[in-house]
A and B are shown apart, each in its own frame.
Chain A
Amino acid sequence: MTFQQQLTALNTIARKEIQRFLRIWTQTLIPPVITQTLYFVVFGSFIGSQLSEVHGVSYMQFIVPGLVMMAIITSSYMNVVSSFFIMKFARNIEELQVSPTPSWVIVAGFVAGGVARGLLTGAIVFGVSLFFTRPHINHLWIIVLFAVLTAIVFSLGGLLNAIFAKKFDDTSIFTTFILTPLTYLGGVFYAIDKLPGIWKTLSHANPLVYMIDGFRFGFYNFSTVSVWISATILVVFALVLVYLNLYLLKKGTGMRS
Chain B
Amino acid sequence: MHAIELKNLRKTYSSGTEALKGIDLRVAEGDFFALLGVNGAGKSTTIGILTGLVTKTSGTVSVFGYDLDAQLDLVKQQIGVVPQEFNFNIFEKVIDIVIQQAGFYGIPRSVALPRAEEILKKLQLWEKRDVQSKELSGGMKRRLMIARALVHQPRLLILDEPTAGVDVELRRGMWEYLQELNSSGVTILLTTHYLEEVEQLCKNAAVIHGGKIMLSDTVRNLTSSLEKELYTATVSTTVGIETLGASIVRVDEHTLTITLAKGESITDAVAQLQRAGITVTALRPTSNRMEQLFLNAIST
Binding site for B on A (CB under 8 A): 1-2, 4-6, 8-9, 11-13, 15-16, 19, 23, 87, 90-92, 94-102, 252, 256-257
Contacts and interface: CB of A to CB of B under 8 A. Distances in A.
Contact of A98 (B14, B52, B103, B106): B52
A5 B105 contact: yes
Contact of A94 (B13, B53, B76, B106): B53
Given A5-B106, A97-B53, A98-B76, A92 B87 contact: yes
Given A94-B87, A98-B79, A98-B81, A252 B107 contact: no
A138 B155 CA distance: 58
Interface of B: 13-14, 48, 51-55, 72-74, 76-77, 79, 81, 83, 85, 87-91, 96, 100-101, 103-108, 148, 152
A101 B104 contact: yes
Contact of B101 (A8, A95, A97, A257): A95
A8 B107 contact: yes
Contacts of B14: 257
Q: Which of B51, B52, B72, B79 has the most CB of A within 10 A?
A: B52
Identify the interface centre among A5, A6, A92, A99: most chain B CB within 10 Å of its CB: A99
A101 to B, nearest CB: 5
B106 A1 contact: yes
What 8 A-B pairs come out closest when comparing CB atoms?
A: A5-B106, A12-B103, A99-B104, A91-B87, A100-B73, A100-B76, A98-B51, A8-B106
Contacts of A23: 91
Contact of B87 (A11, A90, A100): A90
B109 to A, nearest CB: 8
Given A94-B87, A252-B55, A8 B73 contact: no
Contact of B105 (A4, A87, A97, A100): A100
A48 to B, nearest CB: 41
A92 B88 contact: yes
Chain A, interface SS category: helix
Contacts, number: 85
Contacts of A6: 106
A92 B87 CA distance: 5
A91 B85 CA distance: 9
Contacts of A9: 103-106
A256 B45 CA distance: 11
A252 B49 CA distance: 13
9 contacts: A5-B107, A8-B108, A12-B100, A92-B88, A95-B87, A99-B104, A100-B73, A101-B104, A257-B13
B54 A256 contact: yes
B130 to A, nearest CB: 14
A70 B218 CA distance: 65
A13 B104 CA distance: 8
Nearest to B53: A97
A121 to B, nearest CB: 21
Interface centre among A15, A23, A98 (most CB of B within 10 A): A98
B44 to A, nearest CB: 10
B83 A94 contact: yes
Contacts of A2: 106
Contacts of A99: 76, 101, 104-105, 152
A86 to B, nearest CB: 9
Contacts of B96: 16, 19
Contacts of B103: 8-9, 11-13, 15
Given A95-B87, A252-B55, A12 B104 contact: yes
Nearest to B105: A99
